[in-house]
Structure 1
Amino acid sequence: MVSDTRPAASEPAAPGARPGRAGPARAGRTVARRAWGAGLRRTLTFWRRSIQARVVVSTVVLSALIVAVVGWLLLRQTRDGLVDQRVDTAVAEAASETEDARTRLTAVLGTDTDAADQQKDLAAPIIQRGESRGYVVILAAPQTGDGVGGATYTPGLDRSSVPAALARRFAEPGAPPAWTFTTIRREIDGVRTAEPGIVVGSQLTLPADSRTYTLYLLFPMEEEQKTLALVTRALLTAGALLLVLVAGVGWVVTRQVVTPIRMARQVAERLAAGRLQERLLVRGEDDLARLAMSFNQMATNLQRQIRQLEELSRVQRRFTSDVSHELRTPLTTVRMAGDVLHDARAAFDPVTARAAELLQTELDRFETLLVDLLEISRFDAGVVVLDVEDLDLAEVARRTAHAYQTLADQRSVRLVVEAPEAPETPCVAEADGRRIERIVRNLVTNAIDHAGPGTPERPATVVIRVGADADATAISVRDFGVGLAPGEAAMVFNRFWRADPARARTTGGTGLGLAIALEDATLHGGWLQAWGRTGQGALFRLTLPRYVRGPLRRSPLPLVPDDVTEPVA
């Protein structure tokens, strides 16, 4: 019995609101995003395909890291050297000024009791020398607890240039000389400036009031800062030039290696396209030259082997074609004699009559085999021509199921056709109707043979499904019989291959049906694929493009049935 399952056509979608037009700004952003995406894809493609670009970029990146580390070390050493030298100079000069101040204080008369005048007299020559030597001076009186006390200092100098931590260090008499880094703030001609510097402090005792004063000498580090900036610019410039040179050298070196490889790729592509006479140009005696010689030798050997195989294949095809044609004449004669014997078998004894029936059966199978051999020889010779028409696969499935209903009933097999009726996407494709129907007939008869023995009460089932989408149409045939062992799905289309040679076939196959079906599907630019699991049956799927040899990316029907769970790897 044939069961035709036809899903109802889907209702047309309700008309929706007309989409609004995107504004110029949105359209501009969309175009920009698409352009950016296309540029990114081209960049990634170039990166994946160009070993030369990857080598050069990797070399430049690694060189940049090395240059950065080396430059940082050099800058650090230069900075430390400049700072240490400046500190030593500042400390020595501050010690000299302090010693000179103490010498002058020792020579002061004991009758001088004006501490303010004595402080100014002491600071004035130091300030004057500082203006010529490039440092500034603060002579601070003892602190009162809220910072630096009364002080005599270089005009324009901000007394906050002395760090509070250093001032607290000299809060008590008897503190040893000390220094620290600071920021020297000054106001010159109404312009405030701030520059890094070193402040050195030491204590002095004025005879006028016998109190301890602190002498701060602040030495700017502007010259060292300029020197360090100059060294930094020089290192950056040298590093940039070095990276450019490394990139150039890397490009040249990799080009010397990559160019022969690209030539080898081009020659290999030409060889793959059938231009077997292509060879690489050999220059020199280095490793690349030896590689080119080995490649040429390999190409020569391949050319010789391919020509031998082509000659053998040509001889084989000619032999098959000649034998097939030559057998037609004697087969016709034997067929006529067999028909006579078969028609007269009623007058024979039972043994002779049975022999006549067996002869007729084997003649039918031999004739089918001869037709298949002739068809295979035409495929091998490349003389097959398609008679293209608009073909409805749903109708092909129904006709095939109806034609083989009697055979299915004999095997107690139920044929089920699942084809959409009046679908939104018709199951129509440009195809050679005779060849497609031959494929479907072959798949259906194979499914009936392998569906397993059924009973009238519980018949075996063969499901024929038809599907379509915008780009392709497909038809699948599923049985629930013995199935295919692992690896047999790829071998089932080989010529004269059978999953079980001992199996008795109802239709008397020749072993060439699936091979011819695969050639027919390939001729249309389609796919013929098989799936099977032991004990779970098998499924064969034919997928055709809407147009002959049109683009085919996916099939509308699944290859693995929905009721089967694939094992997790």
Structure 2
Amino acid sequence: MAALTFWRRSIQARVVASTLVLSFVVVSVVGWFLLRQTRDGLLDDRVDAVVAEALDETEDARTRLASATLSDVDAAEQQRALVDPIIQRGLTRDFAVVLAGPAGPSGVAADPGGGGATYTFGLDRTSVPGSLVDHFSSVATPSWTYTTIRRLAPGGESVLSEPGIAVGSQVTLPADGRTYTLYLLFPTSEDEETLALVTRALLTAGVLLLLLVAGVTWLVAQQVVTPIRMARRVAERLAAGQLQERLEVSGEDDLARLATSFNQMASNLQRQIRQLEELSRVQRRFVSDVSHELRTPLTTVRMAGDVLHDAKGSFDPVTARAAELLQTELDRFETLLADLLEISRFDAGAAQLEVDDVNLVDVAHRVVDSTRPLADQRGVRLVVRAPDRPCLAEADVRRVERVLRNLVSNAIDHAGPRRPGATPTVVVRVAGDDHAAAVAVRDHGVGLAPGESAMVFNRFWRADPARARTSGGTGLGLSISLEDAHLHGGWLQAWGRPSEGAQFRLTLPRRNGDPLRRSPIPLIPDDVVESV
């Protein structure tokens, strides 16, 4: 597994391996071609030499036969006189001799293994190939072929074999006027040894060449890959936030120019990121300062509004109505100010959790009880579906209640009847398992269009901009809820479908800091029929 990982990650290893494979193929093809040429050249030279020597021996034999006296009428003696000198020369020049004959009737070759054959001592006469014997079944020109020369070992118990060349020619004895076939067998062991030596030399040179190519390729790839690895490490440190990291530039080649361009890109990114950070810091500080500065005048306005609201009974109807509207908007303004302060704390990373064991069943009932007046005012029925046993999670109860209150309030605003004339219903479901606890809020109102389930958590986002906020929301509730969920290490997810309502699901880990892998409540409600 480690080798496979190294292979996938190392360009240098893949370059060296591919170069070695290609070099091996090239060296193999060139080596095979050279060996073939060397072998053919050695054998061709050897064939030419042995054929010439065989023809010389045959011509010498014919000359001696022609000079023989007519008194030499004994064919056997003449045969011995013919072949013995050739056998003696063969012992010194390392070739074997077989004189077969005389030939039989027309079309029948003289058998070298027959009783009338004369041959070099220790030679196995089957060394003469049958194809060559058949060639001389009648009067024929000299011919040659490859063969295997077999000799008896000195003890006579084993046979020694070696490659060779057999050359045949025909002579006629004056004593009986019959035709005999002279076979000369020349071993090619020296040529085979030479070819083996050349093969070993080529193999050794090929291995050394491959090692040299591997070393050179490794060094060349190292020169190219090292700057790339340095760039990767610097890029990783830049991604980790160390914006001051830069590549070392040396030389004026392409890699040096690449390093220069990389450093310029890193400098531009660092400058832009710092500008964005500064802009974000100024923005967060502005929101925080404005929120704090608005508290004093808001307190004064609140006191004046309370006085006017308490005295509205003595006002004319128009003035009394204005006092009520002023009181309502002051309440909303205070809520908006509180939400802005909370958002500024999230942006500044100053939000902290006060973790305790929280029973989500109790939290769900408290939130439903607190929002029931709003639901009754809208004609919405609230239903809690929770287990009889506690559903505990380590969480900040204030933040969890705020999340559920926002979800239930939004569900009341957007609830609608499933059927005309039916009572709008919002269902709050609580469930848990060994790893997570979840609360889901389901309504059957207008729902969400495709893509809006992610946008619904954006600040001040509304599906229908022309639609008023009937419950007095500020447009920051779901954004704050999402931040609260992330602060717990949990999930806040939304599902919706036009005319089928929506469901928001809050999932928290049972133990604070544990990773979440699943939720005990499905995001898509059970009462939804999936379209095929």
- Equivalence map 1:90-489=2 (5 Å): 90-109=50-69, 115-141=75-101, 142=103, 148-150=112-114, 151-170=117-136, 172-190=137-155, 191-342=158-309, 345=312, 348-393=315-360, 396=363, 400=367, 404=371, 428-455=392-419, 458=422, 472-477=436-441, 481-489=445-453
CA distance in 2, matches of 1:117, 1:485: 121
Alignment equivalent of 2:487, drawn from 523, 538, 543: 523
CA distance in 1, matches of 2:237, 2:484: 29
Tell me whether 1:494 sits opposite 2:458 in the alignment.
yes
CA pair 207-478 structure 1, distance change in 2 beyond 3 A? farther
CA pair 117-530 structure 1, distance change in 2 beyond 3 A? farther
CA pair 88-545 structure 1, distance change in 2 beyond 3 A? farther
CA distance in 2, matches of 1:557, 1:209: 118
Q: CA deviation at 1:477?
A: 4.7
Structure 2 counterpart of 1:58, one-letter code: S
Alignment equivalent of 2:21, drawn from 28, 45, 61: 61
Alignment equivalent of 1:83, drawn from 38, 43, 46: 43
Contact 1:412-1:453 at 8 Å conserved across structures = no
Contact 1:390-1:430 at 8 Å conserved across structures = yes
Deviations 1:283-328 (A, max 9, x none): 2222222222222222222222222222221111111111112222
Which secondary structure does the structure 2 equivalent of 1:157 belong to?
Answer: coil
Greater shift after overlay, 452-461 or 357-366?
A: 452-461
Structure 1 counterpart of 2:245, one-letter code: E
CA distance in 2, matches of 1:167, 1:279: 86
Q: CA deviation at 1:374?
A: 0.8
CA pair 220-313 structure 1, distance change in 2 beyond 3 A? same
CA pair 50-113 structure 1, distance change in 2 beyond 3 A? same
Which secondary structure does the structure 2 equivalent of 1:84 belong to?
Answer: helix
Q: Looking at CA atoms only, which structure, 1 or 2, has the larger radius of gyration?
A: 2
CA pair 165-299 structure 1, distance change in 2 beyond 3 A? same
Q: CA deviation at 1:385?
A: 1.2
> How many percent of aligned residue pairs carry the same amino acid?
72
CA pair 522-146 structure 1, distance change in 2 beyond 3 A? farther
Which secondary structure does the structure 2 equivalent of 1:494 belong to?
Answer: coil
CA distance in 2, matches of 1:153, 1:409: 129
Q: CA deviation at 1:379?
A: 0.9
Deviations 1:135-175 (A, max 9, x none): 223333348789754133333333333333333333x2023
Which secondary structure does the structure 2 equivalent of 1:493 belong to?
Answer: coil
Instruction: Compute the TM-score of the two structures, normalised by the length of structure 1.
Output: 0.79
CA pair 384-196 structure 1, distance change in 2 beyond 3 A? same
Contact 1:138-1:217 at 8 Å conserved across structures = yes
Which secondary structure does the structure 2 equivalent of 1:264 belong to?
Answer: helix
Contact 1:413-1:461 at 8 Å conserved across structures = yes
Contact 1:471-1:545 at 8 Å conserved across structures = yes
Query: Could you say which structure has the greater relative contact order, defined with CA pairs below 8 angstroms and 6 or more residues apart?
Result: 1
Structure 1 counterpart of 2:7, one-letter code: W
CA distance in 2, matches of 1:162, 1:460: 112
Tell me whether 1:43 sits opposite 2:7 in the alignment.
no
Q: CA deviation at 1:337?
A: 4.0
CA pair 115-328 structure 1, distance change in 2 beyond 3 A? farther
Contact 1:447-1:479 at 8 Å conserved across structures = yes
Q: CA deviation at 1:442?
A: 3.0
Q: CA deviation at 1:66?
A: 1.9
CA pair 504-185 structure 1, distance change in 2 beyond 3 A? farther
Contact 1:411-1:454 at 8 Å conserved across structures = no
Contact 1:412-1:456 at 8 Å conserved across structures = no
CA distance in 2, matches of 1:444, 1:501: 21
Tell me whether 1:503 sits opposite 2:463 in the alignment.
no
CA pair 343-465 structure 1, distance change in 2 beyond 3 A? same
CA distance in 2, matches of 1:320, 1:357: 29
CA pair 546-200 structure 1, distance change in 2 beyond 3 A? farther
Which secondary structure does the structure 1 equivalent of 2:180 belong to?
Answer: strand
CA pair 492-128 structure 1, distance change in 2 beyond 3 A? farther
Structure 2 counterpart of 1:239, one-letter code: G
Structure 2 counterpart of 1:231, one-letter code: V
CA pair 213-454 structure 1, distance change in 2 beyond 3 A? same
Q: How many aligned residue pairs are there?
A: 523
CA distance in 2, matches of 1:416, 1:557: 16
Q: CA deviation at 1:420?
A: 6.5
Contact 1:435-1:520 at 8 Å conserved across structures = yes
- Equivalence map 1:8-19=2 (5 Å): none
Greater shift after overlay, 149-158 or 69-78?
A: 149-158
Contact 1:345-1:356 at 8 Å conserved across structures = yes
Contact 1:147-1:164 at 8 Å conserved across structures = no
CA pair 219-553 structure 1, distance change in 2 beyond 3 A? farther
Greater shift after overlay, 134-143 or 86-95?
A: 134-143
Contact 1:393-1:428 at 8 Å conserved across structures = yes
Greater shift after overlay, 51-60 or 378-387?
A: 51-60
Deviations 1:3-28 (A, max 9, x none): xxxxxxxxxxxxxxxxxxxxxxxxxx
CA pair 91-252 structure 1, distance change in 2 beyond 3 A? same
Structure 2 counterpart of 1:526, one-letter code: G
CA distance in 2, matches of 1:63, 1:499: 66
Which secondary structure does the structure 2 equivalent of 1:275 belong to?
Answer: coil
Which secondary structure does the structure 2 equivalent of 1:57 belong to?
Answer: helix
Structure 2 counterpart of 1:381, one-letter code: A
CA distance in 1, matches of 2:112, 2:426: 105
CA pair 395-146 structure 1, distance change in 2 beyond 3 A? farther
RMSD between aligned alpha carbons?
3.5
